[in-house]
């Protein structure tokens, strides 16, 4: 098992660092956590076949963590992704992904689908809203989500906070545990990871 930090920067452009994305490589599986600015270029630099990306977990919906999710969705397809791309994240992840597919890149997807038959037809992207608790157990690896506190400027109304859930993940495989969180201050959820 290998963990590669593809991006460690933040929302402001930094010539030396791309925005937040972490990759776990486990055999032939490549699992992304977040999809920040530059993720696809960084995957290419790391020698990861873009068509081999089929699972993404999002920590939260700040743009430096999801800004290039569209690039993962489309480039994995263009590079031979055979299965659906699964995207898991906090509530509203389904709405975000659906908006990208049906309202932002619908024409691009149709254009490539019709104009590039060698791609073999559009391969779906399936988003799932998750909440803290067990998320997946594939037999080879399992993952659970914890509620974490983002910190900084969160004196927000309850109605907004109900839609603003930040998740940390506990990934277990090969007898090892990897904890991955997004922007997080010390909190019980981080300790649990």
Closest separation in Å from C-beta 62 to Zn ion: 3
The window from 107-115, 118-126, 172-180, 182-190 that contacts Zn ion (CB under 5 A) reads 182-190
Query: Token digits for 109?
Result: 């997807």
**Dist CA 84 CA 51 (whole Å):** 11
What b/e string do you get for 66-83 counting C-beta neighbours within 10 Å, with b at 16 or more?
Answer: bbbbbbbbbbbbebebee
The window from 27-35, 56-64, 114-122, 156-164 that contacts Zn ion (CB under 5 A) reads 56-64
**Dist CA 143 CA 179 (whole Å):** 10
Question: Does 14 engage in binding with Zn ion (CB under 5 A)?
Answer: no
Which residues are bridge partners to 30 per DSSP? 25, 53
Closest separation in Å from C-beta 89 to Zn ion: 13
Q: How many residues bind Zn ion (CB under 5 A)?
A: 2
Question: Does 164 engage in binding with Zn ion (CB under 5 A)?
Answer: no
Cβ proximity to Zn ion: between 9 and 70 the closer is 9
Question: Does 149 engage in binding with Zn ion (CB under 5 A)?
Answer: no
The window from 44-52, 81-89, 131-139, 180-188 that contacts Zn ion (CB under 5 A) reads 180-188
Compute CA distances 101 → 33, 70, 71, 97, 157, whole Å. 20, 9, 12, 6, 30
Question: Does 129 engage in binding with Zn ion (CB under 5 A)?
Answer: no
Q: Which residues contact 105 (CB under 8 A, 6 or more apart)?
A: 70, 73, 74
CA nearest neighbour of 32 among 12, 11, 4, 13: 4
Given candidates 4, 105, 183, 190, which one binds Zn ion under the rule CB under 5 A?
183
Question: Does 62 engage in binding with Zn ion (CB under 5 A)?
Answer: yes
Query: Token digits for 178?
Result: 């990897």
Cβ proximity to Zn ion: between 63 and 111 the closer is 63
Question: Does 61 engage in binding with Zn ion (CB under 5 A)?
Answer: no
What are the residues binding Zn ion (CB under 5 A)?
Answer: 62, 183
């Amino acid at each position: 098992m290998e963990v590669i930090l593809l991006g460690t920067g933040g929302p402001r452009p930094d010539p030396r660092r791309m925005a937040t994305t972490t990759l776990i490589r486990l055999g032939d599986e490549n699992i992304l956590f977040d999809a920040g600015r530059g993720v696809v270029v960084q995957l290419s630099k790391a020698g990861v076949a873009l068509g081999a990306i089929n699972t993404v977990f999002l920590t939260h919906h700040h743009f430096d963590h999801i800004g290039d999710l569209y690039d993962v969705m489309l480039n994995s397809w263009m590079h031979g992704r055979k299965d659906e791309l699964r995207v898991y994240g906090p509530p509203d992840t389904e709405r975000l992904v659906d908006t990208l597919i049906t309202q932002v890149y619908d024409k691009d997807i149709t254009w490539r689908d019709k104009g590039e038959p060698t791609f073999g037809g559009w391969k779906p992207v399936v988003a799932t809203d998750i909440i803290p608790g067990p998320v997946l157990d594939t037999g080879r690896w399992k993952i659970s989500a914890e509620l974490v506190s983002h910190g900084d400027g969160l004196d927000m109304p309850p109605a907004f906070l109900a839609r603003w859930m930040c998740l940390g993940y506990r990934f277990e495989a090969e007898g090892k545990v990897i904890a991955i969180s997004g922007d997080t201050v010390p909190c019980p959820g981080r300790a649990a990871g």
